[in-house]
Structure 1
Amino acid sequence: MEVQAPSAQPGTSLKLPLVPGGYVAAKPPFYQSLSPQLKAASLALGIEHAVLLSATGTVYTWGLGSHGELGHEVLTPEKEPKAVEALWGVPMSSVAAGGWHSACISAGGDLYVWGWNESGQLGLPSQAMRNRAKQEGPERDPSTAACEGEKEGEKEKDVFISIQAFPALLDVTESCEIDKVGCGSRHTAALTTTGDLYTWGWGEYGQLGHKDLISSDEPRRVEFFRERGLRAVDVACGAWNTFVAALEEEVSPPQNV
């Protein structure tokens, strides 16, 4: 709405009753129409970027892009919605945006992630997470050397991903599809079609729900719901927390023989 300028000296700000020392910006919110061919279905907002899902299932992104969160294979900004070409032809059902990372679910239940992976929020190998695990965990068993990239007589460098500038398919679980996904500032939560919750990324505020404050670059199932006979049906992430809607599992009555 229009705000009248204060009668005091120029440069002084309005005194707001609920915001001590606050101010009202003279510039009103702006409106910018989308392309007539682009029919928006849903929108997700990160710290410095936006992810839009069109009615046809196409994903568009725009914003800063310095952490690969736009998914255009470059780290340059986009001022207007641009289709993510790597997902072209694959209809999507939902999108989510974290601080500097993005995610979407295909109509077939596949999860795609891209952007910043400093805390393992993409579920991809993170050097910071692996270094911390080595420091805090027990000494490495020599029998696992082959699994960690070391072979007899030679050493192979581990591959870590700091920034994933284009969508990557993430296999959260082999047994079922992904139904919903939410992104926090540096963590991610996904629901499967069977009602299980998986979380990964930065967990030092307990936002992963694993009864600890451990961060992880690998999806882990939250056992809380299964232990109580609950089925998770929806998930939403704040910057540093996770909210889940759950229902009691229906138990079929015994059949008379």
Structure 2
Amino acid sequence: MWDPAQYSRFRDERKRPFFDLLARVDVESPTQVADLGCGTGDLTRLLARRWPSAQVYGVDASSEMVEAARRGPALASPRFEVADLADWRAPALLDVLVSNAALHWLPDHEALLGRLVAKLAPGGVLAFQVPANFEAPSHRRVDEVRALPRFASVLKPVRRRPVEALPVYASWLFGLGLTVEAWETTYLHVLPGEDAVLAWLLGTTLRPVLAALGPEASRDFVETLRPLLRESYPAQPYGTPFPFTRRFVVARRVT
């Protein structure tokens, strides 16, 4: 389902939240570190360079993404694995568990957080970031096209990926015995190129939609969506402004 090249088209914009998340992870010398939803592995390698004495794992459900990660530089190379993010079994308790823009693909976040916290060593940190842009014009336009009769029945099983409000995440994590820091940031990306917002969505949100539709219907879907996105996000001489909100949580296991 995933296309590493398409996903990486806006590499710099997708990296920014990772750095903002990692800046709040105050761990000096972890021995076991994992990146759930590692994608092409670029950011996982940054974890390995930050903590060179740690064993770093990069885990992704996409074999295409993991293959791309394994083709990266051998220097400071983490151990990359293909696995379901919800069920991955860490070889040892983790000092740092990071997930950047991946957990929204998984259901039942209350149960999921319980499983993730169980992977942490005492004092271990869970740090994750999820998109919170699901009510933005981009997603409303996608929903508008999804609802058209020629697409609706096929796409009914393809669920949207909403996330919880920050107080909900905090309540669950406090209940699991963690301290919690949580915040929300809206980035204003200025995207280059023609139909830039469509290109962004083709790297993420639209992947399961197009996979369900098949080649011919996918082309129809994209061409129907294209003018709607142009209307919602008019291109400017300097690029296309694209506001994008994300939610961040950094939680430390006390015992």
Q: Which has the higher helix share?
A: 2
Fold conserved (TM > 0.5)? no
Q: Which of these two proteins has the greater Rg computed from alpha carbons?
A: 1
Report TM bin, short chain. under 0.3
Q: Give the TM-score of the pair, scaled to structure 1.
A: 0.25
TM-score (norm 2): 0.25
- Greater RCO (CA < 8 Å, at least 6 residues apart): 2
